[in-house]
Amino acid sequence: MKHLPSIKRPARTATIALASAAAGMALTLPGLALAGHGAPAVPAPPAAPTSADQIQNIDQVKTAISAYYGDTPTAIPAPGDPTKTLHQFSPNSAYAHEVEGIASNAGKFLAKRAQRHHGQGNFSGKPAIVFDIDDTTLNTFSYEIYSSYVFNVTTNTNFVNAGSAAVFPAVPGMLNLEAKAEAKGYTVFFLTGRPESQRAPTEANLTDAGFDFADANVFLKDNASPWLASCAPTCTRVQYKSLTRQHIESLGFDIVANLGDQFSDLDGGFSDRTFKIPNPMYFLP
């Protein structure tokens, strides 16, 4: 079993954290350290606060998140609710620039590993890269703004079932990273916590956003999958993701890079290196 490199992170809680505007609005969720340019992670509030002063103001947090993504109103009707229109991130936002930088670094790593392979043969199988979907390859800012950061099964399903890049566009830099990986001989896999019942709209969305994939290389959660027998039907997110990566490697692949916006996308081994995508909108343990 491969082991992930050590990742230093603050304690995990469900509370959103906010740095002050004077400190540069460095954003993160507790448990989700920034993966960008050396900005320190915002410390989490205590699990049992004794004063309101220990808790970031949620309205200020929402305002800061909107500024980070460059909140841009559109004329596109919200799926299932034509009384509202969608908001999207700006391609010139701090978010877009930060994620593009991470994608660029991942591309350089993959290129270097491929070059070393041709000289020394240092892959343990066919080289592969694994992408999470929500907020790693498809950006869900539109839904978070629509729902005011409160998940609802019905409204979220409406957004997913739209299967459209107008609703969930590609995360900046990821299309280029996928193309570079494929050009270097990597097989691309997508691994999402979405249920198997959402396969058709998920694949339609990936296609509409410009991603290239084989149907067999897109993994959605199905508790009947034989490689999940040890934990089904109550697999944690870490178990589901890591056991599926183990299954991919059992097919003869070496997962050289694994990209995700949650630490639960990355924990559990079975990848040579992980790349954390910033996501200050929500936290999935």
pLDDT tens column, 81-106: 999 999 999 999 999 999 999 999 99
First and final C-alpha spacing in the chain? 22
Tokens encoding 102: 């991470």
The per-residue pLDDT for 117 is 57
* Residues 113-142: b if buried by 16+ CB within 10 A, e if exposed: bbeebeeeeebeeebbbbbbbbbbbbbbbb
Q: At residue 4, does pLDDT exceed 70? A: no
Q: At residue 25, does pLDDT exceed 60? A: no
Helices (H) and strands (E) in the chain, counts: 8, 9
pLDDT tens column, 119-133: 445 788 999 999 999
Separation between Cα atoms, residue 226 and residue 206, nearest integer Å: 26
pLDDT tens column, 38-62: 567 788 889 999 999 999 999 999 9
The per-residue pLDDT for 118 is 56
Domains and their CATH numbers in the chain: 65-276 (3.40.50.1000)
Please tell me whether the overall predicted TM-score, pTM, comes out greater than 0.75 for this model.
Answer: yes
Long-range CB pairs of 198-202 (<8 Å, 24+ gap) are 198/157, 198/160, 198/161, 200/163, 201/160, 201/161, 201/162, 201/163, 202/133, 202/160, 202/163
Model confidence at 1, pLDDT cuts 50, 70, 90, reads very low
CA angle 189, 132, 81 (to 5 degrees): 120
Q: At residue 73, does pLDDT exceed 70? A: yes
Separation between Cα atoms, residue 98 and residue 172, nearest integer Å: 9
